[in-house]
Structure 1
């Protein structure tokens, strides 16, 4: 009887033979099902579970269940598989490669921090041929592990973390669930230009956010709603202008579009925000050269694995946003 999987895909030669994979220390603690899904690109998750149930995947020559957690030194046997061939990814242009190399603002053995350019999605899909993570993997073909720690909207620029080790990914994603860098968490700091005068007594917005999908299924919109998830953003005024306010925003929680919706909630939507902003003000903003919402992830504060001190990384404003502020110099207000 032939044990080879008969899943009906064209054969990908990378999986045509039995493979024996040794688990290293960085992969230790990972569930076997998640380990397999990450390595068997093109194999449906349901088929991964079928391989485990039938005993075709073995660890140290024995059967394991899907929730088995790997240990350093374990040997995983993968059977021959017929795996769907993926279309070759769009190739990274030399221009984007140079721009991203210059945008790396922090790097150590386990972490990259990039000042993400505006207009670049963090990953491909939904009509996006090449995202940040795919571009970085092409730039670093020998890197064994590159994964997004968190995300930014396509039109939001600034600091984004990419883990180079799974241990760093676990540590930093847990830290994201904590409150502040000083207590082992991660502090995110944004700069945002809001329409109008920010209320002087408002330094903290606490309003539940509910994420909805538009009829297309591709578009997301977020609303203040009593059935939403608890959401908190801290705001402070950096500079007041005649018609605008430059804000520093620190999201305490990490909800989709949180800063943008909380600013709108206080009748000070972000300039250039087509989804939650003011259409008339956005048309005026285009005359200033602003073609997206004015939101920039300006700094991150975090504690690295095994460290006690807080690391702070800062990303300078992108040229389009800096240009807007330069044009508003004559509109600055005192106090």
Structure 2
């Protein structure tokens, strides 16, 4: 470990403006566990312009950050993605230009390492793109969720897309297979969501009057005998939003270990569904200096498409 840590003072320049403080610290304090980063934020040991801030605070040019003394592990050689994973990710690229990659993330691959995970999507892409020095996730997907995810190759693209997301100008479309018959009239689920941490450290989300406002639009795509394929469009971007809103309506997602129904999940596993059926199917966004939006679509992987094709339509 490095010795004699001391207080650091960092002034934010225009290049780093717009980044969340938690993401900045995770990058700046290489080797420090994410849990420690969030602990020093929660305890108010990190200050911006001498004031306490929350983990989602977005940095502004000229901000002065006080970072408390933390021991940083000696830098290790970065974990390298296997050739097999690199080939899979190369085949999964849906769109690429000089500033952006949109990739069809496989289910089971975390977006980044940490909490016992040595290698995530971003680390694997850094192996695949050694010449790109500024690869950063634009947004996140749960580990078990597959589909469209954006990775910026430039800080300017990252700032642009973060602003587009904040302003609601990036449209995300998911496909989910839910238990039972989703009613046609249930086109909107408007229910506030609150994050809870169990004593085990597991993160759970529930509908709660004192939660954050949360809205998801739903549309029926296809009906089957015991379940419904729906399109879900999250208007807000809360943790586990689609999964909890579907559960709240009485139609949890197939294969959902947190919010699903055990007996039904066993039944669907016997039918070939051995993972969470939640897929980020499409993104619509307008790129810098372009007038017309683009739509990027990610096909379902075989673990979802093959058992889905065998289901009996209603």
TM score, norm. by length of structure 1: 0.76
CA drift at 1:224: 0.4
- RMSD over aligned CA atoms reads 3.0
Measured after TM superposition, the shift of residue 250 of structure 1 is 0.3
Matched residue count: 280
Report the equivalent of 2:254. 271
Structure 1 residue 150, shift from structure 2 partner: 0.5
The 5 Å alignment of 1:168-207 reads 168-179=157-168, 185-207=169-191
Preserved CA contact (<8 Å) 1:114 1:160: yes
Q: How does 1:277-316 map to 2 (within 5 A)?
A: 277-316=260-299
Counterpart in the other structure of 1:250: 233
Q: Is 1:318 aligned to 2:306, yes or no?
A: no
8 Å CA contact retained: 2:243, 2:253? yes
CA contact (8 A) 2:16 2:155 kept: no
Query: Which residue of structure 2 lines up, in the alignment, with residue 153 of structure 1?
Result: 142
What are the within-5 Å matches in structure 2 for residues 22-37 of structure 1?
Answer: 27=15, 29=17
How far residue 89 of structure 1 moved from its aligned partner, in angstroms, is 3.5
Q: 1:325 to 1:28 in 2, by over 3 A?
A: closer
CA gap of 1:67–1:259, structure 2 versus 1, over 3 A, is closer
Question: Within the alignment, does 1:209 sit opposite 2:206 as a pair?
Answer: no
- Please say if 1:88 is aligned against 2:89: no
| Matched-pair contact (CA < 8 Å) for 2:100–2:152 | yes
Give the gaps of 5 or more residues in structure 1: 10-22, 54-65, 71-81, 180-184
**Counterpart secondary structure, 1:253:** coil
Aligned to 1:226, the other structure's residue is in SS state coil
Q: Shift in Å at residue 305 of structure 1?
A: 1.6
**Structure with bigger gyration radius:** 1
Q: Is the 8 A contact 1:89 1:129 kept in 2?
A: no
